[in-house]
Every structure is written in structure tokens, then in C-alpha cells.
Amino acid sequence: MLHLYSSLLAGYEKEVRPASRHDHPINVTFVFSLTQIIDVDERNQILTTNAWVHQHWLDYKLVWDPRLYGNLTRIHIPHEKIWRPDVILYNK
């Protein structure tokens, strides 16, 4: 697994959007799971919650042939090592 990890991150730049071409979009799927409503302030219209947000996208730079790595199909890479989409929450 260490060989795969090293191979995947060799030359990987987390600041560069992982698209095969600069004009190709990256589709990011968001799944929002509300786990708890902590407070509802009706007067100020503020809802305080706990929630999980799961993001999923295909990073073509992090793809490998499992046959070359002992049939390994999944690997954990810390989020600070890879590109992540910018997410901005706003109230409309």
C-alpha cells in the first residue's frame, strides 16, 4: 500500500484542479445529512444545526490498476494531501 500511496502522490499538486483538460468541468456531488437541530431562533431567523456533508468527485490523477497493487481497490489519503473543491455557504 505504501508503494501505491507514493505512486499516486508523486508529482500530485493539490492546488491544481484535477481535470484532464482545463475546459472540462469537475462534477462534485454533495450529500447533506442533518443530524441534529440545536436551536431555532424564530425572531432572528437563525437555525443552528449539526450536519454531515459528504462530497464525491472523480480525480483522474488518483486512479490505478488494482491488479498492479495486490487487488487493492481503496486507499485512504488524508484530505489535506489532495485537491478539494472550494465550498461557500450563503443565505439567499
Amino acid at 88: I
The domain spans of the chain are 2-18+25-81
Q: Are 62 and 77 in contact (CB under 8 A)?
A: yes
Q: Which residues contact 32 (CB under 8 A, 6 or more apart)?
A: 51, 52, 53
Please give the full DSSP string across 71-89, using - where no structure is assigned.
T-------GGGS-------
Here the cell at position 8 is: 499516486
Report the distance separating Cα 48 and Cα 38, nearest Å: 5
In tens digits, the chain (92 residues) has pLDDT values of 789 999 999 999 999 999 988 899 999 999 999 999 999 999 999 999 999 999 999 999 999 999 999 999 999 999 999 999 998 887 76
